[in-house]
Structure formats: structure tokens, C-alpha cells
Amino acid sequence: MSSSGKKVVAVVGLNGELGKPTLSALTSPEFKNYYHFPIRAVTTKNNKFEEFSDSEVSYHKVDYNDASSLVAAFNGVDVVIDLGSHKNTQILLDAAIEAHVKLFFPSVYSPDYGPEKKDYSGLLAFKDFYHDDRLKCLNLKVGWFADWVISKLAVLFLSNEPNKAVRVGDGNTKIPVTFISDIAKSLASLAHHSPEKLPEKVCVQSDVYTQNELFKIYEEVKGVKLDIEERSIDTQLQIAAQADKKQKSDMFDFLNVITATMVSPKRMYVDYSKGKDMKLVNPGIFEWKKIIPEAKKAWSS
């Protein structure tokens, strides 16, 4: 903790999806008074973001193969927010413990899977991290990235061909989504709490969609008729099982596995928006973004 009593935060994994949005949230008028500035940006690269001044963000270069560089970057830090790939989480966690960090956000940012995750031990091998007496871990669970559903059409359509889409089951499966900016705000909102008052898992979502809803809106906004392939749930589960076993997987393998988890008979759908975690994260500080207006805006421009 800084002498001002404000939390010292380090953000790791800047150049992925969540780095810049999380720095934006931490330095925004809504949250900046909770944090000691500059925020520590811990990175393997040399680039700086021109959006932030030196008094807002300081850069600390590290090498994941050199634990001492991580411990040095975390020295004096209260909270580490890991935004990188899953494979580095344990290395970062060990360094955070050594540097006496109090709160750690492991890089999960995925849906809160239930028993359906166990069917995909290849592509969904990542695990939650729990605290021991030295360090509290908070696993932030979110839906799919809503930004990807809107901007990477293969995520929505399960197809790369123009105006072609695959409908799985009846197309009415509810799929929770969270916008990247809402994840960033959620992190900025949670990171200033006393670790002992926080749960180990927090589930949030910006919104929920079904394939049928978004297919219809896409057709209306774009003035096209989608060529829709109907795929049964059983077929989706078989495709996903094969995808999960591949030595070298691609984006479609991952999408097929995630889609299979959503339609799996083992899935117990939970509407996060009704839970107490939403109030903990956002007691009226910001508006959660909604997917239909954002999709209409993006697709009509």
C-alpha cells in the first residue's frame, strides 16, 4: 500500500485483448482515486501506449523465464492483474507470493464452466487458482467476449464463408457475453477492495444472446439472407470431441469446443446478471453494454 493509502497495482500482459482497456479503466475518473499512480505496466515488450502519460502508467520490462525480473516488478505491489495467457499464470503467481502481493487476478476471463468443461481436457485444460494463506486469488468469470461475437463473425456463425452460418440445435441456447471494456471496469472496480472481503470467484456478464436473435438482426441490418446449415447438438458434441484431441488446434477447434459447452446437456445455465456479484462489481458505477444495440451499430457502419 502506498503512503497515501491507495492500492499499488501491477497489470501484466499488456499487448493482448485486455491490456489497454484495463489501463484505461484503472486511470478513468470512476476508479483512479482508488489507486496509486503510476500504475505498473509489466510487459515483455518495449512499446508504450500513447494514450497514457508517464504519470499515469510506468513500464516494467520482464522475462517470464527470469523469476527475479517478475519479483522485482511486483515489489511493493498490492494487487497483480494478470491479463496474459494461461500458461504463465503459475509463474506469475509464484513471483507475486514472493513479492508479498496481497491480491491476484489469474488470467481466466472465461465463462463459469460446470461439469461440461471436463469433456474438453485439451482445449479447456486451464484451471482456477485459489489462495493459500499468503495470497488471495480472485477468478473473474465472464461470458464470451461480446466484441468478438460482433466483430469476428466466425465466432457467431461458426463459419468463415460470407453470409453462411451454422445453427446449433434450435438456435435458442442462451450465450452469456461480456464486453472487454466491461471486464476492464470490473477489474478496476474489484481491485481496490480489501482482499479478505472478496470472494474467490466473481461472475459477471454484460448481456446474453441467442444465435437466432443475432442471425435475424444481422439479416435485417445487412439486408442479406443467411445460408444456414442446421447442426444437431449431438453432431456439435462429436465435432468438439475431435477438435479437443487434435495436436495442433485452430480457432475453429476452439470455437467448436466452446459452442459444445454451451449446448451440452450437462450445462446448467446460470444467468449471472441476476447474481450478487454484479452488485459487488458495479453498484451503479457504470452501464453494462448491451449486445443488440452494439451489434446494430457495428454492422450498419
- The least CB distance from residue 223 to ligand NAP, in Å, is 28
Instruction: Mark the segment that binds ligand NAP (CB under 6 A) among 20-28, 97-105, 140-148, 282-290.
Output: 140-148
Residue 110 in the binding site for ligand NAP (CB under 6 A): yes
Distance CA 277, CA 184 (A): 15
Task: Phi first, then psi: give them for residue 50, nearest 5 degrees.
Answer: -70, -10
Instruction: Please name which of 158, 127, 122 lies closest in space to residue 247, comparing C-alpha atoms.
Output: 122
Q: How far apart are CA 244 and CA 212, in angstroms?
A: 26
In angstroms, give the least distance from the CB of 203 to ligand NAP. Answer: 12
# residues near ligand NAP by CB under 6 A: 22
DSSP assignment of 157-211, as one string?
Answer: HS--STTEEEEETTS---EEEE-HHHHHHHHHHHTTS-GGGS-SEEE--SEEE-H
279 contacts ligand NAP (rule: CB under 6 A):
no
CB of 12: closest distance to ligand NAP in angstroms? 7
Beta-carbon contacts of residue 238 (< 8 Å; ≥ 6 apart): none
Among 145, 209, 218, 288, binds ligand NAP (CB under 6 A): 145
Q: Is 120 in the site for ligand NAP (CB under 6 A)?
A: no
- When the beta carbons of 58 and 88 are compared against ligand NAP, the nearer one is 88
Position of minimal CB gap to ligand NAP:
16
Site for ligand NAP in 17-36 (CB under 6 A): 17-18
Side-chain-facing half-sphere of 243: CA atoms under 13 Å: 23
Rounded distance, CA 127 to CA 116, Å? 14
The H-or-E segment that residue 40 falls in is strand 39-43
The single residue among 31, 52, 105, 109 that binds ligand NAP, judged by CB under 6 A, is 109
To the nearest whole angstrom, how small is the minimum distance from the Cβ of residue 158 to ligand NAP?
14
At 189, list the grid cell.
472496480
Report the site for ligand NAP in 54-93 (rule: CB under 6 A). 64, 83-85, 88
Q: Which residues in this chain contact ligand NAP in the complex, by CB under 6 A?
A: 13-18, 43-45, 64, 83-85, 88, 107-110, 142, 144-145, 148
